[in-house]
Amino acid sequence: VSYDGSCGKRQRLLVVANRLPVSAKRTGENTWSLEMSPGGLVSGLLGVADEFETKWVGWPGVDVYDAAEKNALSKSLAEMKCIPVFLEEVFDQYYNGYCNGVLWPILHHMGLPQEDHNDTNKTLQTQYDAYKKANRMFLDVIIENYEEGDLVWIHDYHLMFLPQYLKEHNNKIKIGWFLHSPFPSSEVFKTLPSRSELLRSVLAADLLGFHTYDFASHFERTCTRILGVEGTHEGIVDHGKATRVAVFPIGIDPNRFIKACALPEVRQQMTELKERFAGKKVILGVDRLDMIKGIPQKFLGFEKFLEENMDWRDKVVLVQIAVPTRNNVPEYRKVKTQVHGLVGRINGRFGSVSSLPIHHLDCSVDFNFLCALYAIADVMLVTSLRDGMNLVSYEFIACQEAKKGVLVLSEFAGAAQSLGAGAILVNPWDVTEVSSAIKEALNMPLEEREKRHRVNFQYVKTHSAKKWGNDFISELHTFSESEMKSKKI
């Protein structure tokens, strides 16, 4: 599809997400330094941004109260095609409260937070109000920057009211909404007090995208059961308004990783890492420190493996890089404490003065070093309890052309549906299964590893972020509501 307009101008695309793809740091009075920030969405959209005249709308990642400072920051951001939404007064209740304390656990099948005081409903209501207010603040910024014919692509659970608010403002705006997390079964979503309003608002969009068929069909069944609307695999009709629902599995920009692995600096880091872990197999974990990533379950599986396989004890190391996120949400602090406790226990049980079985780091690592780690690892261990896709699995495969390491992957990650053929799939709740999978991966002969790697590498190469973005935009561009209705769904 060519998006060039008749006057040669590229199609404009407004990409709206909670967080801008840059993080801003104050460097002085009214001066800022800007850097690309990590995360799944950013990695995904890096590959598609060049195709369109893209503008990003989102929170810049810092609190700014002073008008002159806001002005200076907006000007710097404009150079990177970013438009800030300043959310200061609502941020805590909206982001830490409703987005990450309520919606995130529900979408990952974890249920609503359970407080032991009577103010739970009041807290929930306050957070919900802040969520709506934040969505209105996004609306105001979009209205200010919208030009006729722009496509608006909204991302994720932070902005579920935005499709409805935008359509109320201008029914002609073409809106797509993509959910990066899973969508749960209707029985789970039903527990959310504001379930109907949220679903109805999302349905105001023209196109809704999910990573997997399971998530899309959970969504459709939830709409059918809660709202009583009609739905099929094509989409949903609500009071005569048709909304297309489709599956767009995200990918990465594989060449970025392949190229990085050939850089002299990365090769040097690989040599140093190999020397550091000489004589040992390396199992790698790379996750945001989040309860959905199943880091405690990973450690329990590894502990069981060490318990049962004495001969492996001084021949294997688990390197876990866990970047802390959402520190203001109590559940995240709890999981961090739990993880640290497990690392201490396992290293205490199986370590010696000169060697430790788990190397756990609470930090983000830079891109080149991450590629070096992916490239030297023998096994990648992903034990998410639920995960929309899990791009880390893709990144590992892209960096393994030389080594042909083994991916052990949770069946509850969206990636299990795309990389399942080459990976060893596990139920992360089953400690014995995780332990056996580690053993199988460590002992797998080269021929079998090559076979599995080839299948997955081919998938990662062809199902890139660019394809994901182009497929979504192409569908949004060409989708016609009347055509869908005429199919009498």
Q: Does 390 bind ligand ADQ (CB under 6 A)?
A: yes
Which residue among 11, 16, 17, 43 contacts ligand ADQ (CB under 6 A)? 43
Does residue 395 interact with ligand ADQ by CB under 6 A?
Answer: yes
* Gap between the Cα atoms of 415 and 250, Å rounded: 9
State which of residues 14, 20, 41, 139 lies at the interface with ligand ADQ (CB under 6 A): 41
Of 132-171, binders to ligand ADQ (CB under 6 A) are none
N residues, the chain = 489
Closest to ligand ADQ by CB, 37 vs 347, is 37
- What residue type is 145 in one-letter code? N
368 binds ligand ADQ (CB under 6 A): no
- CA-CA-CA-CA torsion sign (18, 477, 150, 2): positive
Q: With binding defined as CB under 6 A, does residue 39 bind ligand ADQ?
A: yes
CA distances (Å), origin 14, targets 108, 179, 198: 28, 16, 22
State yes or no: residue 321 binds ligand ADQ (CB under 6 A): yes
Do residues 212 and 184 touch, judged by C-beta distance below 8 A?
no
339 binds ligand ADQ (CB under 6 A): no
Among 218, 288, 449, 466, binds ligand ADQ (CB under 6 A): 288
Q: Is 61 in the site for ligand ADQ (CB under 6 A)?
A: no
Q: Which runs of consecutive H residues, i.e. helices, occur in 324-379?
A: 330-350, 367-376
Question: Does 389 engage in binding with ligand ADQ (CB under 6 A)?
Answer: yes
- Single out the residue of 137, 162, 250, 316 in contact with ligand ADQ (rule: CB under 6 A): 250
482/88 Cα distance (integer angstroms) = 41
Task: Tell how strand 230-232 and strand 235-238 pair up.
Answer: antiparallel
- Euclidean distance between CA atoms 14 and 477, whole angstroms: 13
CB of 38 to ligand ADQ, least distance (A): 5
Number of residues that bind ligand ADQ (CB under 6 A): 24
Of 256, 248, 287, 290, the C-alpha closest to 418 is 248
Instruction: Report the nearest approach of ligand ADQ to the CB of residue 219 (Å).
Output: 16
Residues 137 and 204: their CA atoms lie apart, in Å, by 18
Backbone angles phi, psi at 281, to 5 degrees: -85, 145
Residue 201 in the binding site for ligand ADQ (CB under 6 A): no
By CB under 6 A, name the one of 19, 55, 167, 180 that touches ligand ADQ: 180
| Nearest residue to ligand ADQ, by Cβ distance, number only | 40
Q: Any contact of residue 364 with ligand ADQ (CB under 6 A)? A: yes
- The number of beta carbons lying within 10 Å of the beta carbon of residue 86 is 18
Per CB under 6 A, 388 contacts ligand ADQ: yes
Residue 286 binds ligand ADQ, judged by CB under 6 A: yes
Minimum Å distance from CB 177 to ligand ADQ? Answer: 13
- Tell me how far apart the alpha carbons of residues 371 and 380 are, in angstroms, rounded to a whole number: 13
Q: Per DSSP, which regions of 29-147 are E strands?
A: 31-36, 53-59, 82-84
Piece of 7-15, 67-75, 231-239, 282-290 that binds ligand ADQ (CB under 6 A): 282-290
Question: Hey, which residues does 320 pair with through a beta bridge?
Answer: 285, 360
Interface with ligand ADQ (CB under 6 A): 38-41, 43-44, 180-181, 250, 286-288, 321, 323, 364-365, 370, 387-392, 395
